[in-house]
Amino acid sequence: MSVEQEKHYLEVLGDELSLALGHAVWAFARIEWLTYEYMRKLSSDSLDMLMGDQLFRARIKLIRQLVQRLEGCESEKQAALACIDRAEKLADQRNTIVHNPWQIWIDFERGDFVTEIKKYTNHQKTFDLSAIRTFTESAQQTASDLQDALGVLTTRSY
């Protein structure tokens, strides 16, 4: 690649930030999908269709109630409820990540570019590239754990 064809540092940085943001959204999308799947599996009603247009908080609240009403297998229920709590906490972070843009500026004291997502209504709430990657890993692990925990509950006969 010639000097003329090389990407400018800000273009490379933009690509890296965009990819990290895409991974974060992709990871949480699996949790979103699981809420629909397990509303269907944990209920004899078509709750996945009835609740399709509801916000994530409403769907996760319903999943929690469906798990709580199951009889028996208390330790499995507690494991599922813990995963639901983790997913709910991640949703707040996800909202900040997806509804606020990357900000890039030069920190003249450090002599370096700073990149972060800052919540517009709470400037103390920020995510840098490392925090986005940590969020992505947490969302991936939570999705896997949630699927396992809810899967156990749907394979048991009550």
| Better pLDDT: 83 or 100 | 83
The angle formed by the CA atoms of residues 133, 147 and 97, to the nearest 5 degrees, is 30
Q: Cα separation of 129 and 140, whole Å?
A: 17
Q: How do residues 108-146 score in pLDDT, each as one tens digit? A: 898 888 889 988 888 888 899 999 999 999 999 999 999
pTM of the model: 0.82
Q: How do residues 39-58 score in pLDDT, each as one tens digit? A: 778 777 776 666 667 788 98
Minimal CA–CA distance to 75: which of 148, 9, 149? 149
Q: Cα separation of 90 and 151, whole Å?
A: 21
